[in-house]
Amino acid sequence: MPEHNQPAVADALNALLADSFALYLKTKNYHWHVQGPHFRELHLLFDEQAAQILATTDLIAERVRKNGAATLRSIGEIGRRQSIRDDDAAGVAADAMVRTLAADNKALLGQLREVKAAAEKAGDIATSGLVDAWADETEQRIWFLEATAGY
């Protein structure tokens, strides 16, 4: 276990957590509102990806606590910390949804790299190892979205 009070690791994890919640909710938003000829495929893909993102949130928060810090406490705090933008627009085209989620997952991958760098600098091998699995899941989501969009 890392030394308690690893503020750089905890801060990077909290930023990742905020973006994970933002991406989860955006993915669910698109799941609920997708329309068009690929409705079923995208509806299921978005739901699957949202569930995967949500599954990481508890693990991220627990790593914050194990690093001796407090984690996010509210939707307001998530909003203040997130870098992934919300999408409140009505009538977003399915292809735009796919492209947006691919870009947002790439942004999340950047956050994961920041957590990895902070964890390695602090000697936190447990966090570093978990980030590898989360990065692999994120890369798979990007791959599926880009393949769906026909990049």
Domains of the chain by start residue, with CATH: 7-149 (1.20.1260.10)
Hunting for tokens 């769906």 — which residue is that? 148
Q: Is 88 helix (H, G, I), strand (E, B) or coil?
A: coil
Distance CA 144, CA 39 (A): 16
State the pLDDT at residue 113.
98
pTM score above 0.85: yes
**What is the maximal distance between C-alpha atoms in the chain?**
53
Quick one: what percent of the chain has pLDDT higher than 90? 94
Instruction: State how far Cα 2 lies from the chain centre.
Output: 24
State the pLDDT at residue 6.
83
Question: Roughly how many angstroms between the first and final C-alpha of the chain, as a whole number?
Answer: 42
Predicted confidence (pLDDT) at residue 1 exceeds the cutoff of 60: no
Distance CA 97, CA 9 (A): 32
Predicted confidence (pLDDT) at residue 128 exceeds the cutoff of 50: yes
Closest CA to 83 of 145, 12, 10: 12
Instruction: State how far Cα 11 lies from the chain centre.
Output: 15
pLDDT tens per residue, range 49-80 = 999 999 999 999 999 999 999 999 999 999 99
Cα dist from 77 to 15, 54, 68, 108, whole Å? 10, 17, 19, 18
Distance CA 108, CA 4 (A): 26
